[in-house]
């Protein structure tokens, strides 16, 4: 039961991260390799508030959301928007986000040193499990992360299908030139998508230390699973990425656990499962599960 | 009135239009010419979708040369691209909503109702995705979308491309209706010379990125007649 709970929490967080990756990929064509590091904005916001103001990490979520959102906008405006405007190739954009990832790694490393010096408490390696509690026998992280993903899906659905701005977002994703012709300020919808992506990653990052130990390198490690989730689900489908997150999240957690029972300690290699799933998806269904489902529907239509 | 003076434009380093002068006033102004003559580039340049090297575009006396497309839309200038002119994954209703993105909610509802009286065939298709419409229905939706924005200038890039002769004739007749009922300034780029000249008030003929004829449609037809014989 403990393993299943852990798998569900991990999948919830992976979904928050991969939805953000998918949104920015659809709107700006940028495969963001720094998405994992965006999560650390949330982790370090929560740690800073905990160590300096004794604020519980769960209470840091709104601030983490805002900080991550602003970080997403800053990275887009300063590093990526000029490249997108110059119609840079996807390889250039990938390299740019890898550079951003390394810069963020340096920034989080330096910040953790600074925070350790300021508070005298460990910031280079930290975990929040001791701050978690239970409600009705369930770990709060399980309830909160599940609630967060359900709230997010309901909000996204309302935004995309019930508001004019949401329809404009979908239109900008589908055909930015035509959306501009219709009077939509596409630059604004793209900036919003980077805010949303950064905010969701940072929210996931606020929850992540309740599940695993955080180090400045965590973002660069988790990016493998985020990409696997997006690609397995279909990198151009938001709901596909959610489905991919649960498949990758559960496979990574449960398969690793089952194999480790048979062959001993292999937990450190859990990312290999994500990579294998990603490769299988790329070979057998390059458009991911969303592509498979769409194809099946088109047969019946 | 929309005026183009000494326009040189293209795509980055690819120079397509050379010293183009034209006027788009009330009624239908046709831009004709062989493939690659720069007709579509001219409409795109007016709308701000190309690189402008020199020249000036004015609308009612105001210089609009460097103004981005979404701001031109707000000024009442509408552009209908040749292909991909609707959002296939959005429903007909959503396409009309996004077409009126710049309008207030109450005005948008009024405009959609008004446009549906011009295009009653769209009413029964409102919840259908644009991607499943027929070629004619899709073109009607595209034209309806450009009308939602209370357009004063309507620029149509090959509105009858890939349509059958019968549907093309329906589209031309609808465009002529729009001119008569709404008193619009309409610019049309077309390959279907006879179809468009029948409804046009002025005609321009382009070759190699330059306007080589500007005058009455009948005069152009007469000049083109020996070539067509």
Are B101 and A168 in contact (CB < 8 Å)?
Answer: yes
Tell me which residues of chain A have a C-beta less than 8 Å from any C-beta of chain B.
164, 167-168, 170-171, 174-175, 177-186
Q: Which residues of B touch A164 (CB under 8 A)?
A: 97-98, 101, 105
Other Cβ atoms less than 10 A from the Cβ of A254: the count is 15
Are A164 and B101 in contact (CB < 8 Å)?
Answer: yes
Are A182 and B47 in contact (CB < 8 Å)?
Answer: no
**Residue A299, pLDDT score:** 34
| Proportion of chain B above pLDDT 90, given as a percent | 57
Tell me which residues of chain B have a C-beta less than 8 Å from any C-beta of chain A.
47, 49, 68-70, 73-74, 79, 81, 84-90, 94, 97-99, 101-102, 105, 145, 149
Alpha carbon A274 to chain centroid, angstroms: 15
Residues 6+ apart with CB under 8 A from A295: none
**Residue B182, pLDDT score:** 83
| Proportion of chain A above pLDDT 70, given as a percent | 95
Residues B16-25 have pLDDT tens digits of: 999 999 999 9
Burial A285-297 (b: 16+ CB within 10 A, else e): bebbbbbebeeee
Are B94 and A167 in contact (CB < 8 Å)?
Answer: yes
Strands (E), B25-180: 27-32, 51-59, 62-63, 77-80, 153-157
d(CA A180, CA B44): 12
Which residues share a beta bridge with B162? none
DSSP secondary structure letters along B6-41:
EEEEEETTEEEEEEEEEEE-SEEEEEE-STTSSHHH
Are A178 and B87 in contact (CB < 8 Å)?
Answer: yes
Mean pLDDT of the region B149-172: 87
Query: Would the pTM count as exceeding 0.90?
Result: no
ipTM of the complex: 0.75
Which of the residues in chain A have pLDDT under 50? Answer: 297-301
Residue of chain A with shortest Cα separation from B85 = A178
Residue of chain B with shortest Cα separation from A187 = B70
**Residue A297, pLDDT score:** 45
Residue of chain A with shortest Cα separation from B98 = A168
Q: Which residues of A touch B81 (CB under 8 A)?
A: 177-178, 181
Domain boundaries defined on chain B: 2-82+134-228
Smallest Cβ–Cβ distance between A167 and the set B47, B68, B97 belongs to B97
Q: Token digits for A101?
A: 């990832």
**Residue A266, pLDDT score:** 61
Are A175 and B87 in contact (CB < 8 Å)?
Answer: yes
Q: What's the mean per-residue pLDDT of chain B?
A: 90
Q: Which residues of B touch A166 (CB under 8 A)?
A: none
The structural architecture, per CATH, of the domain B2-82+134-228 is 3-Layer(aba) Sandwich (3.40)
Of B168, B152, B151, the C-alpha closest to B160 is B168
Inform me whether the pLDDT recorded for B201 exceeds 50: yes
Count residue pairs from A and B with Cβ separation < 8 A: 59
Are A182 and B145 in contact (CB < 8 Å)?
Answer: yes
| Proportion of chain B above pLDDT 70, given as a percent | 98
Q: Are A68 and A41 in contact (CB under 8 A)?
A: yes
Are B89 and A164 in contact (CB < 8 Å)?
Answer: no
Looking only at the bridges linking them, the beta strands covering B27-32 and B51-59 are unpaired
Q: Which residues of A touch B97 (CB under 8 A)?
A: 164, 167
Closest-CA distance of chain B to residue A182, Å: 5
**Residue B105, pLDDT score:** 87
Site of tokens 């006033």:
B25
Are B73 and A183 in contact (CB < 8 Å)?
Answer: yes
Q: Are B184 and B9 in contact (CB under 8 A)?
A: no
Residues B174-187 have pLDDT tens digits of: 889 888 888 889 99
Closest-CA distance of chain A to residue B183, Å: 21
């Amino acid at each position: 039961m403990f393993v299943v709970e852990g798998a569900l929490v991990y999948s919830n967080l992976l979904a928050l991260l991969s939805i953000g990756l998918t949104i920015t990929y659809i709107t700006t064509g940028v495969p963001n390799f720094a998405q994992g590091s965006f999560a650390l904005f949330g982790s370090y916001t929560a740690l800073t508030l905990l160590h300096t103001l004794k604020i519980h990490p769960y209470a840091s979520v709104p601030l983490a959301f805002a900080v991550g959102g602003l970080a997403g906008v800053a990275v887009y405006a300063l590093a990526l928007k000029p490249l997108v405007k110059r119609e840079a190739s996807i390889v250039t954009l990938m390299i740019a986000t890898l550079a951003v990832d390394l810069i963020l790694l340096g920034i989080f490393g330096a910040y953790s040193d600074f925070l350790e010096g300021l508070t005298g408490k460990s910031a280079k390696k930290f975990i929040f499990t001791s701050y978690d509690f239970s409600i009705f026998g369930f770990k709060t992280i399980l309830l909160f992360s599940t609630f967060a993903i359900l709230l997010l899906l309901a909000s996204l659905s309302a935004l995309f299908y019930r508001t004019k701005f949401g329809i404009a977002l979908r239109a900008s994703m589908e055909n930015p030139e035509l959306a501009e012709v219709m009077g939509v300020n596409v630059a604004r919808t793209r900036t919003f998508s980077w805010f949303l992506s950064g905010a969701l990653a940072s929210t996931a990052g606020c929850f992540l230390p309740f599940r695993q130990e955080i180090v400045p390198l965590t973002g660069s490690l988790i990016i493998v699973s985020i990409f696997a989730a997006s690609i397995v689900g279909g990198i151009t489908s938001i709901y596909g990425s959610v489905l991919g997150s649960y498949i990758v999240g559960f496979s990574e957690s449960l398969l690793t656990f089952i194999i480790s029972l048979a062959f001993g300690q292999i937990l450190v290699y859990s990312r290999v499962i994500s990579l294998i799933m990603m490769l299988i998806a790329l070979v057998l269904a390059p458009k991911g599960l969303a592509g498979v489902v769409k194809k099946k529907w088109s047969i019946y239509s | 009135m929309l005026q183009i003076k000494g326009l040189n434009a293209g795509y980055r380093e690819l120079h397509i239009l050379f010293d183009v002068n034209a006027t788009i006033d009330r009624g239908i102004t046709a831009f004709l010419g062989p493939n690659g003559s720069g007709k579509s580039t001219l409409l795109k340049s007016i709308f701000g979708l190309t690189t402008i090297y020199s020249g000036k575009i004015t609308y009612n006396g105001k210089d609009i040369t460097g103004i981005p497309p979404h701001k031109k839309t707000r000024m009442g200038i509408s552009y209908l691209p040749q292909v991909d002119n609707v959002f296939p994954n959005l429903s007909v209703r959503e396409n009309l909503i996004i077409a009126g993105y710049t309008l207030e909610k109450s005005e948008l509802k009024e405009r959609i109702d008004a446009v549906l009286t011009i295009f009653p065939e769209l009413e029964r298709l409102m919840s259908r995705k644009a991607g499943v419409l027929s070629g004619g229905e899709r073109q009607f939706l595209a034209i309806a979308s450009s009308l939602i924005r209370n357009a004063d200038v309507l620029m149509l890039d090959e509105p009858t491309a890939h349509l059958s002769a019968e549907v093309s004739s329906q589209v031309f007749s609808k465009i002529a209706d729009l001119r008569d009922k709404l008193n619009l300034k309409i610019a049309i780029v077309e390959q279907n010379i006879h179809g468009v000249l029948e409804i046009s008030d002025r005609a321009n003929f382009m070759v190699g990125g330059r306007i080589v004829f500007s005058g009455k449609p009948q005069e152009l037809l007469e000049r083109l007649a020996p070539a067509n014989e």
